[in-house]
């Protein structure tokens, strides 16, 4: 199982790489907008900077909605770096674009997946990665981890090569649930990964060890 960082922030990516917990990156238009980047050339340059810092896959989302524009945009984006994966929304035009791009050898991550049927259709179209959004499902009262488990089980049952990326991760429960579901990848903000690193018993245990270490000096 891999950890990706769900961010477009270069400092956070650098920190994650240094910690050994950034094996890839996922971006989306909202995350890019948070970095105050605008204009096509600046966007491309930023994607290039992310790709240079990370060894694994970097998902970059199309901002067009219709099939023809999505395919055109995806072809341009895929030339930025060999680790770029094109993120395409789970719509009819999106599936059509995934099918075309996959046949041209461009790997796609189907995003905005909220159900098992969407996941299966995305994989049928050729998606190499599928991204169920756990947190946003929880937001509307549906158990996101349960949907993720169903999707991972179906992928294993049908021996699919598609990799499941648990996305929209908001807390430690989502991280542990995604691991228990057997997901291939978790993409998470760095802050959530770091908060899942902490445990009160670790803090208490460390305090005692440090106090006893003083007695040994």
Q: Which residues are catalytic?
A: 87
Q: How far is the CB of 36 from ligand E4P (least distance, A)?
A: 18
The site for ligand E4P (CB under 6 A) is made up of: 6, 26, 28, 111, 131, 133, 135-136, 167-168, 187
**From the CB of 16, what's the least distance to ligand E4P, in Å?**
15
SS percent in the chain: helix, strand, coil, step 5: 55, 15, 30
> Toward ligand E4P, which CB reaches closer, 100 or 187?
187
Least distance CB 204 / ligand E4P (angstroms): 32
* 172: its two tokens: 């430690």
10 Å CB burial of residue 200 (0-12, 13-18, 19+) is: exposed
Least CB distance from residue 205 to ligand E4P, whole Å? Answer: 33
Distance separating alpha carbons of residues 20 and 16, to the nearest angstrom: 6
Residue nearer to ligand E4P on the CB measure, 167 or 175: 167
**Segments in 87-143 forming alpha helices (H):** 92-103, 116-125, 134-139
Kindly tell me which of 187 and 196 has the beta carbon lying closer to ligand E4P. Answer: 187
Closer Cβ to ligand E4P, 6 or 73, answer by number: 6
CB burial readout 77-86, b (16+ within 10 A) else e: bbebeebbbb
């Amino acid at each position: 199982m891999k950890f990706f960082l769900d961010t477009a922030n270069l400092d956070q990516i650098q920190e994650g790489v240094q910690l050994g917990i950034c094996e890839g990156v996922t971006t989306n238009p909202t995350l890019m907008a948070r970095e105050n980047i605008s204009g096509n050339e600046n966007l491309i340059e930023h994607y290039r900077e992310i790709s240079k810092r990370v060894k694994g896959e970097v998902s970059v989302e199309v901002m067009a909605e219709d099939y023809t524009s999505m395919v055109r945009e995806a072809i341009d984006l895929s030339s930025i770096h060999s680790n770029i994966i094109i993120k395409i929304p789970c719509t009819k035009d999106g599936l059509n674009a995934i099918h075309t791009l996959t046949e041209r050898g461009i790997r796609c991550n189907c995003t905005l997946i909220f159900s098992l049927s969407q996941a299966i259709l995305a994989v049928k179209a050729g998606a190499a990665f599928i991204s169920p959004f756990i947190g946003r499902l929880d937001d509307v009262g549906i158990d996101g981890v349960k949907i993720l488990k169903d999707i991972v089980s179906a992928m294993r049952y049908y021996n699919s090569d598609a990799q499941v990326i648990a996305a929209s991760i908001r807390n430690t429960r989502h991280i542990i649930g995604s691991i228990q579901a057997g997901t291939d990848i978790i993409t998470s903000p760095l802050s959530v990964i770091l908060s899942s690193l902490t445990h009160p018993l670790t803090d208490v245990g460390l305090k005692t060890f440090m106090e006893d270490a003083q007695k040994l000096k």
